[in-house]
Amino acid sequence: MIHFKDILLEAMRPNVATTIFAKYGVRNAAHLDKGQLRKYYMALAKRNHSDAGGKDEDMKWINAAYDVLKKNAKDVIDVELKPEDKLVTVFFTDANSGETLQEGQCNHAEYSEIINKLNEDGIEFTAAPPNQKYYDTVNDEWLVASIAILIDPTDFYMVQQYIEPFFKH
């Protein structure tokens, strides 16, 4: 039996592949060279693979998009991702019910700005996992794939307007 989704995967074009990578936080994937594209792909696979708690369906789309994008990518060897391109998934979570209030991806500078703003406004929150180093400033890389920020829903709705722009990647 042939499924429509399988046809979409087989006949995927670069613009669709770019859109899929954007859905997972990788901007302008069609303009990346092979080295950059591979590093982003490996980061996406690390976060979305079923062995890491991800979904097989997500990996199917990511793999198909990567196959299309790498055919058109330029050859450049060993290009490092810039710190502003290294993203982490942040979940704003209701501290009482555990319900996700908002989810998005941001880089280290944006994450720091969000945390500073919450502190400036006197908002009580807890980052989880607690008591853990999330970012290695020496190597400019995230040490976690995601961070949950546990917050009271009333406080979240007060600060939501300044959080939203960070998640518009």
Q: What is the mean pLDDT of each run of 10 residues along the chain (169 residues)?
A: 57 82 83 83 88 87 88 62 74 90 86 90 87 77 84 89 73
Check whether domain 83-167 has CATH 3.30.200, yes or no? no
CA–CA distance from 135 to each of 52, 96, 143, 166 (Å)? 19, 27, 5, 17
CATH topology assigned to domain 4-72: Helix Hairpins (1.10.287)
How buried is 120 (Cβ within 10 angstroms: 0-12 exposed, 13-18 middle, 19+ buried)? exposed
Domain segments of the chain as ranges = 4-72, 83-167
Spatial separation of the C-alpha atoms in residues 42 and 139, rounded to whole Å: 17
Whether this prediction's pTM lies above 0.85 is answered by no
